Amino acid sequence: MLFLKVKLFDLDIGVNAVVINEEDLKGTPYYPQDRVLVETPAGSFVGVLHSTKTLVNKGEIGIFREITKEIPIKDGDEAIIRHAETPLSVAYIRKKMDGQTLKPEEIHTIIDEMVTGKLSNIENTAFVTSLYINGMDMKEIEEMTRRMAETGDMIDWDESLVVDVHSIGGVPGNKTALLVVPIVAAAGLTIPKTSSRAITSAAGTADVVEVLTRVDLSLDEIKQVVTTTNGCMVWGGAIDLAPADDITINIERPLSIDPEPLLLSSVMAKKIAAGIKYLVIDIPTGEGAKVKTIDEAASLARKFIELGGRVNVHIECAITYGGQPIGRAIGPALEAREALIALENYKEAPSSLIEKAVSLAGVLLEIGGVAPPKKGKDVAEEILTSGKALEKMHEIITAQGGEPKSSDEIEIGEYKAEIIAPIDGYVTQISNKLITKVAKEAGAPKDKKAGVLLNVKIGNEVEKGDLLYTIYSSSEERLNSAVKLARRTYPIKVEGMLLKRISKF
Ligand SMILES: O=P(O)(O)OC[C@H]1O[C@H](OP(=O)(O)O)[C@H](O)[C@@H]1O
Ligand SMILES: O=c1cc[nH]c(=O)[nH]1
């Protein structure tokens, strides 16, 4: 064992590297590139060892900022270094890589070791990838869901009627939650919504809400907000609800994947932990979404409902249109602005956004008994059009530590480029994946002001030179790169009625 003092490096290098002076390593069984278990008063993690002559002094261990996002280690903390045995999980991950079924205790071990930082990025990535390739059966998914919830905090509300809505994501512009939560909260139901940051999209709900107010609230702050406003819209990753969720999501994001076993367990674990009893799952379906066909969506819905039954959460699934972006705004600030426009004056908002939001909210109002059967959508519309939802949104924004702003006060990227129609014709396709790529190339979601504002939707007739969409960014360099990508990949297809002329074979 080595006893060292922590020296924190303010550097995001993205992996669990630790640096030890080579004098300290002399005569020990620890070698560069080895994995060592680092135990500190704030928690333990597995780090890849690097040696140095000068970066840290004898008696110090250099630790990077990445770690402190998961474990609140401070400068000067005592650290005990031990050889990191190969985690038990490695054998179980190999089993899943080989397509085998994992036993409950094997799944528990993987989640436990992931959450206690004993797995390196390599093992975590191998696990996520093996689920993407080989999947899991429902028993495995149930075990993973339970463990993901049990390894974190659980919130217990002192009432039974706690509802939530959660989208599996995958469709650009899906800012629906910013309407559904205020509508449902204004109706008096308790809706403590947790969201993840973007996984495959250019803006996750947590990224969008963060434009308007704080989302990294503590459990106590969340309870306070929900008690006073009936709702919240917070980032699940900031609190210890299902901690494995944020670890796996951080691996899914660069690969832009969302394997079904994790999709099911991630959503459900967060909801169990948040004490949700009634949950509506939004399953956007269509070309370019995570789910392509109605049949696939129905099969996923059945799995959600079955899983819900096993973990005592009442689930209803809404299969929604996901064949093109929801609304016109893609990117955190653009989507926050569009959501505010919808709350301020629904007539000015895209009908796809309004329609989806009041439909989902309507289901929750019926489940919650504050609207008669089949009348939920009408009640939701009334709450939206009367301004009650906007008022509630301002309450939630304030309670979470933000300053309510009107839509025209939301800042978007100062650099912009307009993409125009190359010919007369009709918009026949808006590629979810390509439009997301353009928005991300412009800098979203890290650059909150970056994104894409659509000027057309599928079916619109356009003339050569008409505006199709505008790309925004805070950086001219990123904007130019996004424009190049847009010009190379054509996210929006414009075609005449004469699609192809064949005059000879
Ligand atoms: O589209 P991608 O990024 O893959 O999925 C992630 C998004 O889907 C869910 O949306 P919501 O919280 O129900 O609004 C997550 O919380 C996250 O915002
Ligand atoms: O919250 C979410 C949404 C989609 N997929 C996940 O894994 N988690």
Spatial separation of the C-alpha atoms in residues 229 and 397, rounded to whole Å: 10
Q: What is the reported pLDDT for 14?
A: 65
Assess whether 191 and 60 both reside in one domain. no
205 is in an annotated binding site: yes
Query: Closest ligand to 197 CA?
Result: 1
Q: What is the reported pLDDT for 384?
A: 98
Residue 326 CA, ligand 1 centroid: distance in Å: 13
Give domain status of residue 148, yes or no.
no
The CATH number that applies at residue 59 is 2.40.40.20
Give domain status of residue 483, yes or no.
yes
The residue among 83, 118, 149 that closes a domain is 83
Assess whether 424 and 403 both reside in one domain. no
Q: What is the reported pLDDT for 46?
A: 86
Q: What is the reported pLDDT for 366?
A: 96
Assess whether 357 and 328 both reside in one domain. yes
The residue among 352, 372, 407 that closes a domain is 407
Give per-10-residue mean pLDDT for the chain (505 aa). 94 84 95 91 89 96 85 94 92 98 98 88 94 97 97 88 95 98 97 95 98 96 96 91 92 93 96 95 96 97 97 96 97 98 97 96 96 97 98 98 98 98 96 98 98 97 97 98 97 87 85
Give domain status of residue 147, yes or no.
no
Q: Vertex 111, ends 109 and 113: CA angle to 5°?
A: 65
362 is in an annotated binding site: no
Task: State pTM to two decimals.
Answer: 0.90
Instruction: Name the residue with the closest Cα to ligand 2, atom 3.
Output: 168
Assess whether 358 and 288 both reside in one domain. yes
The residue among 407, 425, 442 that closes a domain is 407
User: Is 258 annotated as catalytic?
Assistant: yes
Instruction: Name the residue with the closest Cα to ligand 2, atom 5.
Output: 263
Residue 6 CA, ligand 2 centroid: distance in Å: 35
Transcribe 297-319 into DSSP letters: HHHHHHHHHHHHHHTT-EEEEEE
Give domain status of residue 500, yes or no.
no
Assess whether 330 and 456 both reside in one domain. no
The CATH number that applies at residue 118 is 1.20.970.10
Give domain status of residue 208, yes or no.
yes
The CATH number that applies at residue 453 is 3.90.1170.30
Instruction: Name the residue with the closest Cα to ligand 1, atom 5.
Output: 169
Assess whether 229 and 304 both reside in one domain. yes
Assess whether 238 and 318 both reside in one domain. yes
Assess whether 440 and 308 both reside in one domain. no
Identity of the amino acid at 214: R
Residues 6+ apart with CB under 8 A from 97: 126, 129, 130, 133, 134
Q: What is the reported pLDDT for 70?
A: 74
Tokens of 30: 């620890």
Range of the domain at 260: 163-407
266 is in an annotated binding site: yes
Residue 140 CA, ligand 2 centroid: distance in Å: 18
Assess whether 222 and 355 both reside in one domain. yes
Give domain status of residue 203, yes or no.
yes
Identity of the amino acid at 197: R
Assess whether 72 and 98 both reside in one domain. no
**Which of 164, 207, 245, 258 is the catalytic position?**
258
Assess whether 262 and 396 both reside in one domain. yes
Closest CA to 369 of 209, 200, 137, 159: 159
Give domain status of residue 31, yes or no.
yes
Domains of the chain: total: 4
Assess whether 352 and 431 both reside in one domain. no
| Position in ligand 1 atom list of the atom nearest CA 199 | 3
β-strands 43-52, 35-40 pairing? antiparallel
The CATH number that applies at residue 378 is 3.40.1030.10
Give domain status of residue 14, yes or no.
yes
